Amino acid sequence: MSEPAVLTVDEAAERLRVSRWTVYNLIRSNQLRTVKIGRRRLITAAAITECLDRLMEVAV
């Protein structure tokens, strides 16, 4: 089965193994880019990778 083009906040939280609250905080702080379609906030797999890369740079 192929990977979905976009993830919901819940799916992104599951993939990152954090809470929904943490995902929303990452979005608010502009560390995690999203796409808004209607009222839904969706996250691409590439945005998750970019966010993790930025967080790893800060951690070093």
Q: What is the pLDDT of residues 26-53, one digit of tens each?
A: 999 999 999 999 999 999 999 999 999 9
Q: Looking at the domain that runs over 6-59, which CATH code has it been given?
A: 1.10.1660
Distance, in Å, from the CA atom of 42 to the CA atom of 9, rounded to the nearest integer, reads: 7
Q: What is the pLDDT of residue 25?
A: 97
Q: Report CA-CA distances (Å) from 17 to 10, 37, 38.
A: 10, 24, 26
Question: In DSSP terms, which residues pair with 41 in a beta bridge?
Answer: 36
The pLDDT value given to residue 4: 84
In angstroms, rounded to a whole number, what is the distance separating the alpha carbons of residues 5 and 29? 23
Predicted structure pTM score: 0.87
- Beta-carbon contacts of 60 under 8 Å, excluding residues fewer than 6 positions away, are none
